[in-house]
Structure 1
Amino acid sequence: MSIDQAVNVGLPVTIGRAPGSGPGAPAPAPLPSGARLLKGERNWWFLGPGGVARLHDRHVTPEGALLPDAERRLHESGMFTTGRISAYALTVLTSTHCNLGCGYCFQNTAQDQAGGSRPPRIGRSRLTSDTITEILGFTERQMAAGGLEKLRVLLFGGEPLLNPRGCLELLERAADIAPTSAWMISNATLLTPSLARRLAGLGLTSVQVTFDGDRSDHDRIRVGRADGGATFDRIVGNIAGACGATELQWTLRVNVSQETFHGVDALIDRLAGALDPARCTLYFARIGDVGVGYANSLLHTGELPAAFSRWQRRALDLGFTVSRPGARKTCVTCGHTDGRYGAVVSADGTLASCWETAGKPDWEVGTVADGYLPGERTRDRWIACQDLYRYDEDARTLARFRDRVDTALLDYLHETGRL
């Protein structure tokens, strides 16, 4: 059996039935280790924790399941092997406040009833030196219990750069307990070249920044909280300035909704002209509703799968990186109810299971001073990534969308010699 392999660096996704297996065919049994099997234009794609393999029809049953010999060979080649976790994933909200007023934010508690740019948010708190001491003590204990040698910090908010001193102190002191690297999710409106240089010097390697469609849509949606002002040019300029001062890599998240859909093509071209695509990964995400009254009428059916595939191809052709599809993975932070491999800590030292519940009343699962609460008290508060999002479609529709987009991307990567 001939199996072509490629390294998989994709994001966690959901298993779905392989497209093309027939509308009335029984769904094949789930593959072990969160693996997926997708039907491409000319071949099948196996996505496992050990990578991506290209298979042929002779390796797969008519119902879309691996034949025993194919599965055995994939096991032997390490495609089902899950890598060992060696780094503790610590997410810290350095500030729960934000200087933007995006209506869809999961940290809002409702919409702005006045129709402006100030939706009510979670309570405001700010990381202090004393809380950093408690966080790092907690982290040392968790790492020792799990036998983990490295630390991976996510600077999060609110907007983390509303507390630059907290960001810098946290990274500087974290290096005293373990080899530390870091990344940050920021709106980049406050990121200066000088600050970027200092953060990079303390282990920051990458920054994720969100765009809400092309400039005109973005400047209507992703606005200053105080004045409702535009932010697109400032964000792009700050990213370009930080690129000139550091070797930071960038993940540019493009939010997709009925308000931004028609501007995404132009946005991709605009970003390619303003930034260095070789240092940027683009990914596209439909905005969901987390119960704050934000409505996105754009469904995962119709033209949306083809649009996602078109955007990914255009991004690749312009020199951007596009995250490759992969096996379904358990989140190291929220996928284990004992916080074995990671934790989410709000600015006041309270623990949450996931960043989507950090800072929200009645969702705490402990504190860094006292550790996690007993399981019987946290069972109903422990949610995982995407658990709070509400969709108008069922799980099978969402899985079918992801499968179609991922299959098209793998076909194109193979067709253009990128896989």
Structure 2
Amino acid sequence: MGPGGVARLRAGHLTPEGTLTPSAARRLAEMGLFRTSRPKTYSLTVLTSTDCNLGCGYCFQNVDQDPTGGSRPPRISHARLTSDTITDILEFTRRRMAAAGMEALHILLFGGEPLLNPRGCRELLSRAAGHGLASASMISNGTLLTPLLAGQLVDLGLRSVQITFDGDAVTHDHIRVRRSGGGTFEGIIRNIARVSETTPLGWGLRINVSHLNHAGIDSLIDTLADRLDPSRCAVQFAWVGDVGVGYANEMRHTAGLAERFFRWRRHALERGFGVGRPRAHLPCGTCSHADGLYGAVVSADGTLSSCWETAGKPGWQVGTVVDGYLPSGQTENIWVSCDDQNHYSDDDQAVTAFNDAADAAFLDYLAETGRLRT
């Protein structure tokens, strides 16, 4: 796998040590397999609210576990996007896009839970129309999304929403619980179905996997396929890592679990869901380039972070939209990218072997069923 695609190699393309032969490497380079394209769209992530109505124990925005063992873990500080901050964000974005020579803008509505501030979501998208807004997406827990609100956001450019599930209904309602108490599974399913009836939104269904829920993943796939329109949904399976808030995922990167990850992908594809093809790690347009060259992450108060994983966290600010980025000498130790915060109990070699096994099995399945080029 490379940034430019996937190539299926034969034994003659490899040395006895398993590396590419010089001729194979030259051919793949000519085909563009190793070529990384420059981003064409400026990627702006905005936290419209740092608050959340759920109390998931593994959330990277928690600063600790709930000391009472309940569903109210302490979180990052409260902030809410205002009209004045939107003005500052859009002016900052205009300057950054001009410096990068970019004309198209993509906005990701983020939180906390972004729909705790629906007015901020609407105003940001509406005013961004004059700054090259080409599309918008949102990461939401789905509990507050209504057909009326979804329709308003679609009219302003929203095209897709990512929503997370934490296993089958019983397990999900134990993990993904409201801060006030009570499960969320049925409400989320109902909201997606109702919004799908009235809008063209696409859905990204993120299925978190941990030692608490992996036994119910197959039944979850079937439930989602039976209750939703799989043709409008893309599914991904995400390992819940330890982000330093006292939550430990006891799963290990074993060959047996890699087989299960492959089987879940195959099951989802056979039920009609979109399932992303394994691909090489690509630089993130937002956080993989020095000083946010092609994108930015802005908290609701206008502070800048290098990545959404550190947004709103004290001590991780790399500037403000008013003053711009701090000098690189002040940010080099706090400039992190997406992968830096994924902490696992296993070593890097075990993680790599796990990913290779799961990805290779799925790629072989795609090739065998004629799906690899679609």
Equivalent in the alignment of 2:361: 408
- Answer yes or no: is 1:376 the counterpart of 2:334: no
Write the distance in 2 (CA, Å) between the matches of 1:114 and 1:166: 33
RMSD value, Cα: 1.0
- Answer yes or no: is 1:392 the counterpart of 2:356: no
* Aligned residue identity for 1:301: T
Equivalent in the alignment of 2:241: 288
- Answer yes or no: is 1:332 the counterpart of 2:285: yes
Deviations 1:22-63 (A, max 9, x none): xxxxxxxxxxxxxxxxxxxxxxxxx12221122222222222
Q: Greater CA deviation, 299-308 or 250-259?
A: 299-308
- Is there any run of 5+ residues in structure 2 with no aligned partner, and where? none
% identity of equivalent residues: 62
- Answer yes or no: is 1:261 the counterpart of 2:261: no
* Aligned residue identity for 1:352: S
Write the distance in 2 (CA, Å) between the matches of 1:333 and 1:396: 27
Aligned length: 372
- Give runs of aligned pairs for residues 210-249 of structure 1, distance below 5 A: 210-226=164-180, 228-249=181-202
Equivalent in the alignment of 2:4: 50
Q: Greater CA deviation, 192-201 or 338-347?
A: 192-201
Deviation of residue 247 (structure 1)?
1.2
- Answer yes or no: is 1:62 the counterpart of 2:16: yes
Write the distance in 1 (CA, Å) between the matches of 2:354 and 2:143: 33
Write the distance in 2 (CA, Å) between the matches of 1:418 and 1:91: 33
Deviation of residue 390 (structure 1)?
2.5
Deviations 1:360-386 (A, max 9, x none): 111110000000011111111111113
Write the distance in 1 (CA, Å) between the matches of 2:255 and 2:42: 41
Equivalent in the alignment of 2:262: 309
Write the distance in 2 (CA, Å) between the matches of 1:390 and 1:416: 35
- Is there any run of 5+ residues in structure 1 with no aligned partner, and where? 1-46
* Aligned residue identity for 2:21: L
Moved over 4 A (4+): none
Deviation of residue 148 (structure 1)?
0.9
Equivalent in the alignment of 1:323: 276
Q: Quick check: 1:89–1:343 contact (8 Å CA) kept in 2?
A: yes
Equivalent in the alignment of 1:174: 128
- Please, which of 312, 331, 344 is the counterpart of residue 359 of structure 1? 312
Q: Which has the higher helix share?
A: 2
Residue 50 of structure 1 aligns to a residue whose secondary structure is coil
Residue 92 of structure 1 aligns to a residue whose secondary structure is strand
- Please, which of 39, 64, 71 is the counterpart of residue 25 of structure 2? 71
* Aligned residue identity for 2:91: G
Equivalent in the alignment of 1:188: 142
Equivalent in the alignment of 1:197: 151
Write the distance in 2 (CA, Å) between the matches of 1:148 and 1:314: 40
* Aligned residue identity for 1:111: Q
Q: Quick check: 1:354–1:383 contact (8 Å CA) kept in 2?
A: yes
Residue 338 of structure 1 aligns to a residue whose secondary structure is helix
Equivalent in the alignment of 2:94: 140
Q: Greater CA deviation, 198-207 or 112-121?
A: 198-207
* Aligned residue identity for 2:14: V
Deviation of residue 230 (structure 1)?
1.1
Q: Quick check: 1:350–1:366 contact (8 Å CA) kept in 2?
A: yes
Write the distance in 2 (CA, Å) between the matches of 1:379 and 1:165: 35
Q: Quick check: 1:182–1:205 contact (8 Å CA) kept in 2?
A: yes
Q: Quick check: 2:255–2:354 contact (8 Å CA) kept in 1?
A: no
Write the distance in 2 (CA, Å) between the matches of 1:218 and 1:346: 28
Q: Quick check: 2:36–2:282 contact (8 Å CA) kept in 1?
A: no
Q: Greater CA deviation, 313-322 or 380-389?
A: 380-389
Q: Quick check: 1:356–1:385 contact (8 Å CA) kept in 2?
A: yes
Deviation of residue 65 (structure 1)?
1.5
Deviation of residue 302 (structure 1)?
4.9
Deviation of residue 303 (structure 1)?
2.4
Equivalent in the alignment of 2:83: 129
Q: Quick check: 2:107–2:133 contact (8 Å CA) kept in 1?
A: no
Write the distance in 1 (CA, Å) between the matches of 2:173 and 2:109: 25
* Aligned residue identity for 2:164: T
Write the distance in 1 (CA, Å) between the matches of 2:349 and 2:126: 45
- Give runs of aligned pairs for residues 339-358 of structure 1, distance below 5 A: 339-358=292-311
Equivalent in the alignment of 1:10: none
Deviations 1:307-354 (A, max 9, x none): 101101100111111111112211111111211011100000000011
Q: Quick check: 2:50–2:79 contact (8 Å CA) kept in 1?
A: yes
Write the distance in 1 (CA, Å) between the matches of 2:136 and 2:236: 20
Q: Quick check: 1:332–1:341 contact (8 Å CA) kept in 2?
A: yes
Residue 153 of structure 1 aligns to a residue whose secondary structure is strand
- Give runs of aligned pairs for residues 92-111 of structure 1, distance below 5 A: 92-111=46-65
Write the distance in 2 (CA, Å) between the matches of 1:141 and 1:120: 36
Equivalent in the alignment of 2:224: 271
TM-score norm. by structure 2 comes to 0.97
Deviations 1:95-133 (A, max 9, x none): 000000000000000000111110000001100000000
